[in-house]
Structure 1
Amino acid sequence: MLAWVVPPLLVAALVLQVVLADRARLAGDPEWRPRIIALCNTIGCSVPPWHQPRAFHVTARDLRPHPSAAGALLVTATFRNDAAYPQAWPLLQLSLANLDGDALGLRRFAPREYLGSEPGSQWIGPGQSASVTLEVLDPGKRAVSFEFDFR
């Protein structure tokens, strides 16, 4: 009888080991993530944070001359996490372009830079919005457009 019990237990242990070893990749899949979270809650392992930069969307933005610093621009924006899960705060990329769409300047901002301090939480929740204010050097009159991207 023991011969019938041991092989299925060994197979189950092997499957569990493979799932745990590959949990970071599996947790990045919306179909698998709830199962991996439930498994880790049961056995005490950790699940890497959800990372879906394309789920961040800018809902408002503005660019104007800085009111108190000559040669600088003040950029404001509001963005929202439209992912189904909390995510780590993203890197925010701002690019300025000329009339032909050629980049004149590009800078990436860490969360502490665009929020003004360390975030109160390391996560931005699903549906949560954040407002940011950025001060950047004015690249001159050739800059006619700007764009945000998330990393």
Structure 2
Amino acid sequence: MGSPSETTPDALDIVADVDKRNPGHELQESTDGDRWLGGSTSRGALALDSPAARPFAIAAVFLALLLVGQLVFHFRTDIAISAPLLQPPLAMLSDVLGTDVPLPRRVEMLSIEASDLQVDQERKQLLALQVTLRNRATYAQAYPVLELTLTDTNDRIVARRLLLPDEYLSAAALAEQAFPASADVDVRLWIETREIAAVGYRLYLFYP
């Protein structure tokens, strides 16, 4: 068995011979790998621009435009309020789709300015309801539904009725079909009680 000083030079010679037979071996492998990666990347980029990929790009653009159109159609009333100049094109779009631009329904912009409920002296079974409604918005709105609740002496509910716009509006107001901006509307309505002992009432407005 030889000493370490005798075996180590032989081992070093073998490694040296391998290095001499394959100069730049590791560098060549690295270069080949880079060339392979570069070729793969280039082919991928070309694939995206190839004619086969164009139908998918067109479909993606079409779906994006369709989504935008649906959002515009869904929020067309809010868009018309915030951008009045867009009302004509929105109306044209609605006409094409066989519909219209709904009137705004912001109940927080409506209020009951005054109301009174009296028994008709000539016909005791009739109640005369007088109401003044106000639209505080700077744009026209849909007319609300009125909820009239009749109560007895103990403030218990004895009757309740919903009053639709075509029941409480005059013919002139119905013809306009919209609650004008910054306007008041006076309502006078007779309601048959049919022997209901009502002494009080509550009145609310809302949009269904």
TM range (shorter): 0.7 to 0.9
Deviation string 1:23-72 (CA, Å, 9 cap, x unpaired) is: 3542465x785359727627821332211233221001111111331222
Q: Which residue of 1 aligns with 2:67?
A: 18
- CA shift digits 1:96-146 (9 cap, x unpaired): 224554322111122222124361211112212111011123431x53232
Query: Is the aligned partner of 1:148 residue 2:194?
Result: no
> In the alignment, what sits opposite 2:175?
120
Give the structure-2-normalised TM-score. Answer: 0.55
Higher relative contact order (CA 8 A, sep 6+): 1
What stretches of structure 2 of length at least 5 have no aligned partner? Answer: 1-48, 95-100
CA distance in 1 between counterparts of 2:66 and 2:87 reads: 12
Aligned to 1:38: 86
Q: How many residues align?
A: 144
Cα distance between partner residues in 2 of 1:86 and 1:150: 16
CA-based RMSD of the aligned residues comes to: 3.4
State whether residues 91 and 110 of structure 1, in contact with CA within 8 Å, keep that contact through their aligned partners in structure 2. Answer: yes
Are the counterparts in 2 of residues 51 and 87 from structure 1 also a CA contact under 8 Å? yes
Paired residue secondary structure (1:88): coil
Residue 99 to residue 67, structure 1, CA distance change in 2 (3 Å)? closer
Q: TM-score, normalised by structure 1?
A: 0.72
Q: Which runs of 5+ in 1 are unaligned?
A: none
2:133 to 76, 79, 82: 79
CA contact (8 A) 1:26 1:36 kept: no
Distance in 2, Cα, partners of 1:66 & 1:43: 46
CA distance in 2, matches of 1:19, 1:102: 51
| 2: CA distance, partners of 1:73 / 1:43 | 42
Alignment partner, residue 97 of structure 2: none
Percent identity among equivalent residues? Answer: 22
CA gap 1:42/1:134 in 2 versus in 1, 3 angstroms: closer
2:23 corresponds to = none
Q: Whose helix fraction is larger, Structure 1's or Structure 2's?
A: 2
Task: Assess if the C-alpha contact under 8 Å between 2:125 and 2:192 holds in 1.
Answer: yes
Amino acid at match of 1:17: L
